[in-house]
Amino acid sequence: MDTRDRVNQALKQAMKDKATDRLCTLRLINAAIKDREIAARGDGEEGGIEDEDILAILGKMTKQRNESARAYEEGGRLDLAEREMNEIAIIEEFLPKQLSHDEISTAVKHAVDETGAESIRDMGKVMGALKAKYTGQMDFGKVGPMVKDQLCSAGGC
């Protein structure tokens, strides 16, 4: 079952259970998916969007909510921060398991070897290879510096 089907099943179950907070979050997910689908049709892409696109959308939604929760906490609005954290928990149900720091380090080393990257100019190749394999499993904002360090330690800076 692909991610879209899992979201739709969860949406139906939330309606039956009358779980309003969960239902709202699932509707937001569906809306984001449909927005991306409409944008893809406008760009001339055929056949809708792929599962990896949906995982990217969910990852982006999680990141946005983390930033919002942090801002709410700094502003003393703990009730709103808690609501954002609850939404994150629901969204993360549909994301693959996040990799540990050690697993990410191993993946970065493997991607560098696999792409034959030798210098910082090859960073795009490495990031592309990681995104192709690990979409939704790692925060690429945090992985970028790790890739850079790996390439620099290999003498490519």
Nearest by Cα to 65 from 36, 35, 29: 29
Which is more confidently placed, 27 or 133? 27
Convert the pLDDT of each residue in 67-125 to its tens digit.
999 999 999 999 999 999 999 999 999 988 888 889 999 999 999 889 888 888 888 99
Region 146-151 average pLDDT: 87
Residues of the chain with CATH 1.10.1510.10: 3-92
- Predicted pLDDT at 48: 73
- Predicted pLDDT at 97: 85
Convert the pLDDT of each residue in 18-61 to its tens digit.
999 999 999 999 999 999 998 888 777 666 788 888 988 998 99
At the top level of CATH, which class does the domain 3-92 belong to? Answer: mainly alpha
Residues written for the chain = 157
- Predicted pLDDT at 93: 92
Supply the pTM of this predicted model: 0.73
Residues of the chain with CATH 1.10.10.410: 101-153
Q: Describe the crossing of helices 51-74 and 78-92 by its angle, rounded to 10 degrees.
A: 160
What would the two tokens of residue 63 be?
């990141």
Domain 101-153 has CATH 3.40.50.970: no
Q: What is the band of 14 on the pLDDT scale with cuts at 50, 70, 90?
A: very high
